[in-house]
Amino acid sequence: MAKIFIDNIEYNVKDQTQIADVCEKHGIPFSCNSGVCGTCQIEVLEGPDNLAELNQEEKDMAMDRNHRLACQCVIKSGIVKVTY
Ligand code: FES
């Protein structure tokens, strides 16, 4: 089980899962859901290494380890803290 804190609110998520659902539940806006619009950009405050590597869509949008697209991002395990 992994944990994601979004603006200090804690959510439990399964290891190796997309974070999009929990981010959407929290109120982070989404639009394209395919990594091309940038609407869902989040800032990673802690635990960037607990997220999977940036995928091609995130690289194309000039994301980095502390700026990710919530619609593309997978949590590996452990604790990640983000804001948006
Ligand atoms: S919703 Fe468009 S990039 Fe994530």
Instruction: Determine the atom of ligand 1 nearest the C-alpha atom of 37.
Output: 2
Ligand 1, residues 21, 33, 56: which to mutate, most atoms within 8 A of Cβ? 33
Percent above pLDDT 70 for the chain: 100
The finding on whether 52 has its CB within 6 A of some atom of ligand 1 is no
Mean pLDDT of 55-68: 98
Domain boundaries, the chain: 2-83
What pLDDT does residue 6 have? 98
DSSP 13-80: E-TTEESHHHHHHHT---SSSSSSS-TTEEEEEE-GGGBPPP-HHHHHTT-BTTEEETTT-EE-SSEE
In CATH, the architecture of 2-83 is Roll (3.10)
What pLDDT does residue 28 have? 97
Confidence of residue 59 (pLDDT cuts 50, 70, 90): very high
What pLDDT does residue 34 have? 97
